[in-house]
Amino acid sequence: MLISQKEIIKYLKNVPPVPENVKKALEYLKNGDLRNAALEAQNDLILKKRIEDVVNSAYYALPNKVNDMVQLFAMLGMEKSKSLIFSYLVSLLEPKEWGIFNINFFDFQALFMHEFEKYMIIEFDEKTYKEYADIGAIIPASICVCDSLLGTKKEDVELLMSNAPLEYGTIIKRMSGIGLFGIAAKIAEIWGLKKEKADVLNNSECGGKCKDKIAALIHLIFFSIVSKKQFLDLNSLIEFNPECINLIPKTYERIINGS
């Protein structure tokens, strides 16, 4: 057995704990206190710079650069601030050296979060997006875990793939019983997200009949992104289920039309 579920669980238990300042910032956000969340977050210099870079990017098109953390959080709002904090936590999982997937992870993470926000609002509404923004930030973490797990067994994996038409996602799932989105769900649990959100991530595998609309949307967005040339290395992590299209017609139409 190349990768056991026990190995995955052991690896996930070693997921870096949430830094104390970040933990306090998330707690303040949970209680609706943006100001104190910002004051805590500014003590983590890497997180502070990440938020500054995002808000001062072309996406927000501000006339002047903003460095004050309280002002930055106020501009982002509650859920977007939370989402950015989780995306920062995901970056802590990124391998120092990628063993399997040859991608620009920052570009993938930024694109996935952007597409998740766009299509959640199109398919549902802004309120629903804000409620689930954090799970959109966590999805890329599972890619880091898959690369780390497969990378430690790279020679065995390559040998197996050269002798059978298997893909990375199939290998992980067959050997451990847990897939890409199941890994994301485990990370969500470790980082304290509600069970309901972990369940949505788990259901995003869309194995068998796809029933959850948000899970279907995640499934389609992920497939759409990993079908792009620069992220084709990740395509083998998902077995696309076309049934998901029936649950999210507006998203499917926009993606097909490239809008």
The Cα 157–Cα 166 span in angstroms is 10
Q: What tens-digit pLDDT sequence spans the chain (259 residues)?
A: 456 667 777 777 766 677 889 889 988 988 889 999 999 999 999 899 888 887 887 767 778 888 899 999 998 888 888 888 888 888 888 888 898 899 999 889 889 988 999 999 999 998 899 889 888 888 898 999 888 888 777 777 677 666 666 677 777 777 667 889 998 998 888 888 889 999 999 999 998 778 899 999 999 999 999 999 999 999 989 989 999 999 999 999 999 887 6
State pTM to two decimals: 0.83
Taking CB atoms within 8 Å and a gap of at least 24, the contacts of 31-39 are 32/78, 34/70, 34/73, 34/74, 34/77, 34/78, 34/81, 35/70, 35/73, 37/73, 37/81, 38/69, 38/70, 38/72, 38/73, 38/74, 38/81, 39/69, 39/70
- Residues 145 and 206: their CA atoms lie apart, in Å, by 20
Q: Which residue in 218, 212, 200, 197 sits closest to 115, CA to CA? A: 218
For residue 133, what pLDDT is reported?
86
Q: What pLDDT does 91 receive?
A: 81
